[in-house]
Amino acid sequence: MRPIDIRQYKNELRLKYKAGRRAMPPEEKARLDGLIAEKVGRLYQYKNCRTLFIYVSTDIEVDTRAIIRRALAEGKRVAVPRCIPGTRRMEFHYIDSLEQLQPGAFSVLEPDESRPVARDFSSSLMIVPALSLDNRGYRLGYGKGYYDRYIAEFTGPTAGICYAADCRRHMYHGRFDRPVDVIVTDRGIRRAVK
C-alpha cells in the first residue's frame, strides 16, 4: 500500500467539510448548535470543572457563545484563546464577558493580551473545535496546529464538538496530532476509543 500524503488528504477533507457547513441552512445550524450546547452542559467533566477553556466560534463552527454565557452565569472561570503573533502558538486568557473580545488573528474574536493568562489546568475542561472527528478522537482542524501544540501541554480533559454528519469512523492523522477524550455531537456524547 502506498503511503498517504497526509497534507493533501486533510486539505481535501477540509474543503469538503467547510463547503458542507457553508451550505447548512441557518435554522438547521442553530438547532444543531443548541443540541450540542445542551449536551456539553450534561458532561460530568463540564459539571465538575471550575475553569472552561473554550474557543470563540466563527460562522462555520459549532457556535460556542451559549456555552460561554452559561459557564459564566454558573460562576465558572472562562478562558479563550489568543494567537501569539509571529508564532504558531496560542495562550488562553480569562474573560468575564463576550464584550471583552475583539477581532484578532484570522479575524477570530480574541481577548486582549492584557487579560490574565490561564495557566492552572486543575479542575478544568477544554472544548476543542473540529471540522471532523473520528472514533478515536482525532480531529480535523484548520491545519495550523495551534490546538495540537496546546493540547500536548494541557493536563485536563478535552472534548471535541462537531456535527454528527461530519464525524467519521477513521481519519488518518499525523504524529503530532492529539486526540480529544470525549466527542460531543448533536446526536450524543461518547468517549473516544483509545
31-40 pLDDT, tens digit per residue, is 999 999 999 9
Per-residue model confidence (pLDDT) at position 35 = 98
The pTM score is 0.94
Question: Which among 148, 145, 131 has a CA at the least distance from the CA of 60?
Answer: 131
**What would the mean pLDDT of 130-159 be, rounded to a whole number?**
93
By DSSP bridging, strand 158-161 and strand 124-129 are parallel
Beta-carbon-side half-sphere exposure of residue 184 (alpha carbons within 13 Å): 26
- CA atoms of 114 and 118, how far apart (whole Å): 12
**What would the mean pLDDT of 161-189 be, rounded to a whole number?**
95
DSSP 104: -
39-94 pLDDT, tens digit per residue, is 999 999 999 999 999 999 999 999 999 999 999 999 999 999 999 888 889 999 99
* 181 vs 2: which has the higher pLDDT: 181
For residue 165, the tally of other CB atoms under 10 A from its CB is 14
- CA atoms of 102 and 46, how far apart (whole Å): 26
22 pLDDT band, cuts 50/70/90, is very high
CA dihedral 23, 24, 26, 30 (to 10 degrees): -150
